[in-house]
Amino acid sequence: MFSKFSFRFLLRKIIAVFALSVVFAGVPVQAAESYVAVEAYSGKVVLELNADQKRPVASLTKIATAMVVLDWAELSKTSMASMAVVPFETSSLGGSNPMGLAPGDRISLREAMYSMLLGSDNVAAYTLAAHAGRSIQARNGGSSALDSFVGEMNNLARALKMSSTRFVNPHGMDTANQRGFSTARDMAGLCIYAMRNSGFQFYVKQKERVIAFYRGNDKRAFRVANTHALLGKSEVNGIKTGSTVLAGECAATSAEKKPIVQKLENGASRLTGRRLIIVTLGSPDRWGMTQILITQGWGGYQGWKQQGSPVTTARELIVVPDPE
């Protein structure tokens, strides 16, 4: 019998589908989810659905924010222990703010990064962008620190060949005037790039972290939990979640097996890394779908290797360069 519970569940699904069937930034956003599964070291795409469909990606945007900050810190020789001041503009930002950060609070870049990547903290993302953006603006020019930072996010996207991506803010929230977009394929390339960075890996593999900030002379501690529900399961070691009304439920996931060790004739050993990147966008069940894609993805990759790793079209690979 069709219960009231079943009816309410179905009604919520219909409403969710309707909410996603809109015109977004001039691009139709379909109700059907998008996903891709790619082995990171070879770039082999093993599974995909609507992988080139432009759509909002919510807080997966923060992966790009993190990489711009980390790349900037390395190039500018800036310590992640440096302190940043929460900007006044965050008072009207809205969305996730798990630490309760307020304008004028002081927080280290490292602690802000933890809050952003583990707790999907929008205020921390804005604070990181504003802090790094002032340095970028001083070097490159620009109308504002934030615009300069977002410009670097899009420069990174171009360098990584993310041709169907446009970032408009560092946090990924839906706004009335500016709406960014990407695709599952583009975001998978960004994830491959991010997971090459040992610092980024260290942040996203943490299940939780006690972090602190300063309000005046008062030090306040907070325990932030990683929002990725599969972390530590099915060999998952990151990456990031996201969710907004327009984007739906999104997740980027890294699952890693031990490298294959091959003995060479000269006595040396060759290591072949194995890392599966899964991106799901607008999924009605992102964790269930991610688990399915992990299982089937490894099977598809193994079958491909056994066949001699054939590649017949460029589309079968996601090639991610190392930007200069």
Quote the number of domains for the chain.
1
Q: Which residues pair with 279 in a beta bridge?
A: 36, 252
* pLDDT, mean of residues 18-39: 61
Grade residue 5 by pLDDT with cuts at 50, 70 and 90: very low
Grade residue 3 by pLDDT with cuts at 50, 70 and 90: very low
Distances (CA, A) of 111 to 64, 117, 282: 17, 10, 29
- Given a cut of 70, whether residue 30 has pLDDT beyond it is no
- Given a cut of 80, whether residue 111 has pLDDT beyond it is yes
The parent domain of residue 122 ranges over: 26-316
Half-sphere exposure of 208 (CA within 13 A, CB side): 6
Which pTM value belongs to this model? 0.89
Q: What whole-number distance in Å separates Cα of residue 284 and Cα of residue 173?
A: 19
Tens of pLDDT, residue by residue over 49-70, are 999 999 999 999 999 999 999 9
Residue whose structure tokens are 């079968």? 316
Amino acid sitting at position 125: A
Q: What is the pLDDT of residue 24?
A: 38
CATH number of residue 50's parent domain: 3.40.710.10
Q: Is residue 18 part of a domain?
A: no
Q: Is residue 76 part of a domain?
A: yes
The number of beta carbons lying within 10 Å of the beta carbon of residue 316 is 16
Percentage of residues of the chain with pLDDT beyond 90: 77
CB 98 within 8 A of CB 119: yes
- Given a cut of 90, whether residue 291 has pLDDT beyond it is yes
Q: Is residue 57 part of a domain?
A: yes
Q: Is residue 322 part of a domain?
A: no
Residue whose structure tokens are 């091959």? 262
- Given a cut of 70, whether residue 16 has pLDDT beyond it is no
What does pLDDT average to over the chain?
89
- Those residues with Cβ within 8 angstroms of residue 309's Cβ, 6 or more apart along the chain or in another chain: 42, 44
Q: Is residue 63 part of a domain?
A: yes
Which of 111, 117, 152 is closest to 132 using CA atoms?
152
Q: Is residue 192 part of a domain?
A: yes
Q: Is residue 194 part of a domain?
A: yes
Tens of pLDDT, residue by residue over 153-208, are 999 999 999 999 999 999 999 877 778 999 999 999 999 999 999 999 999 999 99
Q: Is residue 17 part of a domain?
A: no
Decide which of 308 and 12 is more confident. Answer: 308
